[in-house]
Amino acid sequence: MPRTQFLGTGLALPDRVVTNAELSQVMDTTDEWIRVRTGIEERRWAREGETGAALGHAAAIQALDAAGVTSGELDAIVYATSTPDHFAPGNGVYLQKLLGAGTIPAIDIRMQCSGFIYALSVADAWIRSGTYRKILVVGQEIQSTGMDVSTRGRNTAVIFADGAGAVVLGPTDDPSRGILSFDLHSEGAHAELLWVDVPGSMYHPRISEELVHAGRHFLQMDGKEVFRHASTRMPESVRAALASAGCASGDLSLLIPHQANLRISEMVAKALALRPDQVYNNIQRYGNTTAATIPICLDECVRAGRIKPGDLLALTAFGSGFTWGSCVVRW
């Protein structure tokens, strides 16, 4: 049975940079308040008319070029986003159209911040089973259009941002490399601690003036509970994935955690007894781009030489659902 290897990576970010100082002009916050609580210094927000599918396409083109693969060689697309351009269909088919990829399957994974890990698990199963060989996996979000950019919504508006990352995956018969293991979980009892209520099909109509006036279409988060669960679940999951791969945290070359909050990443690193140079963070520059955070980090690390052949990586995420999971990779 083949393993799944990473053939190429890519990223795309809006060119609009939103600083903490800019946000302090429209809500009761300060640069210091945001930095101390989240570690974020600036983030990228899409400009009016900029689509998620376009960001996904730009990241995909980079990943395909890096892999030396054409869109016509792809067997499938797995697209992770919680913020599709339309209620239906998902962004996967729009990316397929932009790429001119033909009538291959293009599916959407809606697992929010854990989306990229779950998307990898689907693609890995397809490759290991021999169903498909070359698969494009994308994590992309435009969160800025769903933020309450006011003092009422500052606990989310200062954190969430926009971007896309992509990887091309393929099979390898080399037993010393590739994806080694996954650890996946969810706990629906906490679903409404981090959620977007509307539009939703339980309402008739799915969205109304009353619901909008109440702010139910904005992302809502109980930050303290999310912090508490994430800082515990993420290191637990990394340990479980490492154990499944026959490894330990001391074997890791690099941990790439979901960029939810710099303080969470620091607590995860401490729980796993990792040095600062063993953990990659870019939330300072990009904020929390949900399903896009890990593939954006991956691409930056690859292009900066932070990841070398033979390195052992752990990818881990936690988010709405609650859902969380980890993946261990021998590069």
Say how many C-beta atoms besides its own lie within 10 A of residue 282's C-beta.
16
Q: Are 249 and 271 in contact (CB under 8 A)?
A: no
pTM: 0.97
Asked if the model's pLDDT at residue 199 lies above 90, the reply is yes
Q: Per-residue pLDDT tens for 244-299?
A: 999 999 999 999 999 999 999 999 999 999 999 999 999 999 999 999 999 999 99
Ramachandran category for residue 246: left, alpha or beta (phi over 0 → left; psi -120 to 50 → alpha): left
The pLDDT of residue 126 is above 90: yes
Residues 294-320: pLDDT tens digits?
999 999 999 999 999 999 999 999 999
Distance CA 320, CA 306 (A): 29
**Over residues 125-144, mean pLDDT:** 98
Identify the burial level of 208 via C-beta atoms within 10 angstroms of its C-beta, where 0-12 means exposed, 13-18 middle and 19 or more buried: middle
Taking residues 236-242, report their average pLDDT: 98
pLDDT at 127 over 90: yes
Provide the β-strand partners of residue 240. none
What tens digit of pLDDT does each residue of 26-42 get? 999 999 999 999 999 99
Measured in degrees and rounded to the nearest 5, phi and psi for residue 252 equal -70, 135
Per cent of the chain over pLDDT 70 is 100
Active site residues: 113, 258, 288
The sign of the torsion formed by the CA atoms of 42, 199, 104, 323 equals positive
pLDDT at 1 > cutoff 90: no
pLDDT tens across 90-100, in order?
999 999 999 99
pLDDT-derived band at 241 (thresholds 50, 70, 90) equals very high
Residue 238 has pLDDT above 90, yes or no: yes
pLDDT, tens digit, for every residue of 49-94? 999 999 999 999 999 999 999 999 999 999 999 999 999 999 999 9
Name the band, by pLDDT with cuts 50, 70 and 90, for residue 176.
Answer: confident
Q: Say if CB 255 and CB 272 are below 8 A apart.
A: yes
- pLDDT value of position 175: 86
Answer left, alpha or beta for residue 321, where phi above 0 means left and psi between -120 and 50 means alpha.
left
Helices marked H in the chain: 20-23, 31-38, 52-67, 91-99, 115-129, 154-157, 209-213, 223-244, 262-271, 283-286, 293-304
Contact by Cβ (8 Å): 115, 295: no
d(CA 237, CA 252): 14
| pLDDT, position 316 | 98
pLDDT of the residue at 181? 98
Mean of pLDDT over the chain: 97
Beta bridge partners of 162: 142
pLDDT at 139: 98
Nearest partner of 270 among 231, 241, 213, 307, judged by Cα? 231
Q: Check pLDDT > 90 for residue 149.
A: yes
Q: What is the pLDDT of residue 128?
A: 97
**184: pLDDT strictly greater than 90:** yes
What are the angstrom distances between the C-alpha of 84 and each of 79, 145, 206, 211, 271? 10, 11, 16, 20, 35
Residues 9 and 298 sit within 8 Å (Cβ to Cβ): yes
